[in-house]
Every structure is written in C-alpha cells, then in structure tokens.
Structure 1
Amino acid sequence: MPSAVILLAAGSSSRLGRPKQLLPYRGQTLLRRAAETAVEAAAGAPVVVVTGAVHEELLPELTGLLVAPVRCAGWERGMGASLKMGLAMLDSLCTNWTTVTVMLCDQPLVTPTLLRELDATAARTGRPIIASEYEGVRGVPVLFSEEAVMLLRALPDAAGAAQLLRQHPELVATVPFAGGAVDVDTEVAYAALLRQANQSQK
C-alpha cells in the first residue's frame, strides 16, 4: 500500500517576505503543485496538509483534491509541532496507516515518481527510514515506516525530521534526488527557479 503523506506548509516564509506556498510556478502555486504530487503518489492513502502562519488563504489551492487540511496553532514552535499535528490528523482519519512520507511545499522538483521510489526502496531494503539525498545531505521528502513513526511522535516541537536522520543513520536508506537542493526560501532562489523553468521551455 502506498504511504500516507504529510505535506508541511505551515511556515511564515519570513526570509521571503510573502507566503511561499502561493508563489506561482509552471502555472500553479507551489502548494497546489506539491498537493497534487502527494495525492497522485498516495493513490488513495491519506494526505494531510498542515498549515500554520496562513490558513484561509491556502484553502482555495486545495479545492478538489483528496487532502485533509489542518492548522497547527503552535506552528511557530517549529517543524516538530507541525509534524505531530499532521500525525494526529492522520490518526483521526485512518487507523490502519503504517508508513508516512513527509514532504515540503517549497521543493518544486519533487515528483510522484520520486515519492513512489521511496516506497519501493522501503520495501526492497527493509530500512525504517528512506530519505532523499542531494548534495551529500539526507533530507526530505523522507519516508518513515511503522517502527520509525514513534521517533517522529517523540520529536521536540523545535526539531524537524532531519534531526532523526542525523541521530539514527543506521536506520536510513537513501534515494538520489538532485532536485532536492532546489527550494524556495528567498527571492533570489525563486528568481533562479523561474529562470531555470524558462530555459527548459526554450
């Protein structure tokens, strides 16, 4: 069965100065693109979208998608708080999910194929954590199987999934994903993303 997905979209985009979730890219906002990717890969498994700093403004971007949006009131405490809110929402939606993939809305090069490869690698290797690897870094999107989900539940509010990858390297297998290095945290990064998109269309 495909993994459930938690899509984190709770941040305030303080470095960017405007909600990155609503930035347009290839005819869609980053949030819509990420949510559609999650839904396609999940293939009927639950998809939870965790919002925070902005909520009502994001809901129209999820219209028509089989996702469950939930606002993390304590989003400013850190990614761990949002992850635990996402897990609680998953628990309320479905009692038989066993694996979950955590992804962010500001990695526009994530594809359903990549997310399916995380699932396939988990099945093939038996490792409880399957991380994307780019530029020598292990990071998101990252899949946690049933035995590793308890580590997510115990995360401090201020910590993110990357902390678990560093603390438990023996549990981790990886999938190469060069595009993981592309995220949108600043106007410079966004401008570079748009330039790359324009060049690829020529």
Structure 2
Amino acid sequence: MSNPRTGIVILAAGESSRLGYPKQIARYKDKTLLQLAIDAANGSKADKRVLVLGAFKDEIKKTFSGASIPNIPNPKWEKGMSSTLVKGLEYLQKIEPVDQVVIMLCDQPFVDSKIIDKLIDAQAKSGKGIVACKYSKTFGVPILFDKKYFTQLLALTGDEGGKSIAQANEEDLELVTFAKGKTDVDTEADLRDLNL
C-alpha cells in the first residue's frame, strides 16, 4: 500500500488585532513568522501545501516569494478561522486530492519540518485518524486529520478550528509531545519574549 498523500494548510488570514500589525510579517531571528511556517511546510515530507491569506494579503505577499508556495486569498476571512481552513482544504482537494491534512498556523515560531514529519510518522505508526501536538496540559496545532474527517472540517463555522472534532473523537486521537508548541505570538510582548 502506498503512503497516504499528505496536504498542509497554513492558516494566515487573520488580522492580528492584538498585535496591531500583521503578525505574519512579525520577525523572529531573521525571518518573518510566515516565512518560518512556509519553510516548515516546504521542508516536510508532505505532498501538497497551500497558504491561505486574508487580511493585509497584498502587504504580506510582498514579504515572501510567491513561487515558494501556492497561496490563495480567503475573501471571507472575517467569518473566522474556519472559513480559512475550509478554503485551504477545498483547494487541496481540487486537483489531486490528499488522504490527510496537517493544519498549521503562522504564529508558532518553533514549528519546523521535523514536528510536521513527526505527525505524519505518528499517524502511519498508530493508524489513528487524528494526530495533534501536545503541550501545556492541552493539545492543538499543528494537527493532522485523516480524510474521513474532511466533511466535518468543511462544516466548521466561526473561529472553530479542528480542536472540537479532535475532542469529540479522542479514541481516534494520537498525541505527539511538542513542548514548544505552546509558544505563539499574539502581542508585542510575546514577540519581545521570543527575541530575548
């Protein structure tokens, strides 16, 4: 049996209201947060990837090479994170459908290709339909879903990510420890703490 085809959706459509400017272009070390996410996706063993932009998309597009990753706009980004996830998943399923998808954000600076590959490997070993990262007594993104959950993912609304689906299917959930996954950037203080 061939390996399942894995797609990645990078959700980068939000307006970063707490930061005051697009967090996608906030810098950590010498790269933008978005570039770190693109590098992680591109360096992983996933077969397909897509970046979904929304707020400030024109400004953000100037900060990375458009050729480096397929990117699409979500004109309905104000409807919440779910609309961005749906847009990305629909895109992945259009031409060569994938068997599983990894959902990632662009505000977790420590997510790299290794953790994405760990999710893919954990799925192959465990056979579970959902593989999430575990940190700070909880779990979350990056998170992998088998295609049997795509219908539910496509039905999400508002600011729901896939976590509600994972919580409802804990018997089909595998966790991968990723302590640094708890670090995300929402405010200027978060960014300062990172760069200390």
- TM-score class normalised by the smaller sequence: over 0.9
Paired residue for 2:49? 47
For the pair 1:154 / 2:155, whether they are aligned, the reply is yes
Paired residue for 2:35? 32
Pairwise CA distance, 1:3: 1.9
Asked if structure 2 preserves the Cα contact closer than 8 Å seen for 1:39 and 1:65, the reply is no
Paired residue for 1:22? 25
In 1, Cα distance between equivalents of 2:34 and 2:163: 21
Asked if structure 2 preserves the Cα contact closer than 8 Å seen for 1:9 and 1:50, the reply is yes
Asked if structure 2 preserves the Cα contact closer than 8 Å seen for 1:21 and 1:31, the reply is yes
The two structures, once aligned, show a CA RMSD in angstroms of 1.4
In 2, Cα distance between equivalents of 1:65 and 1:41: 17
Structure 1 gap ranges (5+): 196-202
1:74-89 residue pairs with structure 2 within 5 A? Answer: 74-89=76-91
Secondary structure of 2:111's counterpart equals coil
Counterpart pick for 2:64 among 45, 62, 65: 62
Secondary structure of 1:163's counterpart equals helix
Pairwise CA distance, 1:168: 2.0
Paired residue for 1:166? 167
Structure 2 gap ranges (5+): none
- Residue identity over aligned pairs, in percent, reads 35
Pairwise CA distance, 1:89: 1.3
Encode CA deviations 1:79-137: one digit per residue, 9 max, x unaligned: 11110000111123x32311110000000001111100000100111110000000111
1:117 maps to a residue whose letter is K
Paired residue for 1:199? none
In 2, Cα distance between equivalents of 1:90 and 1:161: 17
Asked if structure 2 preserves the Cα contact closer than 8 Å seen for 1:133 and 1:180, the reply is yes
Query: What's the TM-score once normalised by structure 1's chain length?
Result: 0.90
Paired residue for 1:198? none
In 1, Cα distance between equivalents of 2:153 and 2:56: 24
Asked if structure 2 preserves the Cα contact closer than 8 Å seen for 1:35 and 1:62, the reply is no
In 2, Cα distance between equivalents of 1:26 and 1:82: 27
Total equivalences in the alignment = 193
Query: What's the TM-score once normalised by structure 2's chain length?
Result: 0.93
Pairwise CA distance, 1:65: 4.6
In 1, Cα distance between equivalents of 2:98 and 2:31: 30
Asked if structure 2 preserves the Cα contact closer than 8 Å seen for 1:127 and 1:171, the reply is yes
Pairwise CA distance, 1:148: 1.9
In 2, Cα distance between equivalents of 1:27 and 1:189: 16
In 2, Cα distance between equivalents of 1:169 and 1:82: 24
Paired residue for 1:182? 183
In 2, Cα distance between equivalents of 1:6 and 1:58: 17
